[in-house]
Amino acid sequence: MNVSKFIATAIFTLGAAIAQAETLSLKTAEQAYYNGHAMALENMLAESAPNDQLVIRYRLGSLALGKQNNEAAKNIMQALMLDLENEVKANPKNAEAWGLLSSVYGMMTFLEPSMAMTYGPKAGFAEASAADADKHNPMVLMLTGVNKFHTPEQWGGGKQTAYDYLTKAINAYQAAGETRTWGYADALAWRGMAASALGNTEQAKKDIEASIKLQPNYGLAQQALAGI
């Protein structure tokens, strides 16, 4: 599906996508993502309000990467990266756009290792900008925690740092309640994986099982639990 016709309005309104109470469209898209339904996400691009479309595209790229369809993931993330860069130029206080952009840079580093020296500093700048805009935002904290999970300790990452950020994210999600659920299952699953890497098997199982309870078809959490 050609999504370019949505870009102009999507960029302008991304900041409202999940900054307040999440839309029904976004919640439906999350279910499609956790259930692994890429086609449903594709179809939702035409049906969703412009302010949800970049978020749905992020999930499409994440799903493609999770299924090891790296070429599709690269195509989605490259286009999304440009659109998010335009969004933060227009709205530099959009914490969630900065958070998504930092995550996209991280994924692009994996997909294009030769560009690591370019994407790495950009990811760090986007991460810092997200925190400057809203350091208590649960989505920003979750995305930062996942980034730290994949970042070596000598570059400011590591499993303990990831665990700490993801704990902050989980606390923020719990405080927000039903108005902010986007990424909550991710935060639980990734904290569980961080706990496992740190040798805390009991906490790992508790977190990952909680993630699966929220999203029973969440493949990443299922795989993580099986690997403990």
199: left (phi over 0), alpha (psi -120 to 50) or beta: left
pLDDT of residue 48: 82
What are the helix and strand counts (H, E) for the chain? 12, 0
pLDDT of residue 7: 34
pLDDT of residue 175: 95
Domains of the chain by range and CATH? 1-98 (no CATH), 136-228 (1.25.40.10)
In whole angstroms, give the CA distance from residue 123 to residue 107: 10
Tokens linked to 41 = 């996400």
pLDDT of residue 50: 64
CA distance readout (Å), 186 to 1, 71, 183? 27, 23, 5
Q: What is the pLDDT along the chain (228 residues), one digit of tens a residue?
A: 443 333 333 333 344 444 445 677 788 999 999 999 999 999 999 888 766 888 999 999 999 999 999 999 999 999 999 999 999 999 999 999 999 999 999 999 999 999 999 999 999 999 999 999 999 999 999 999 999 999 999 999 999 999 999 999 999 999 998 778 899 999 999 999 999 999 999 999 999 999 999 999 999 999 999 999
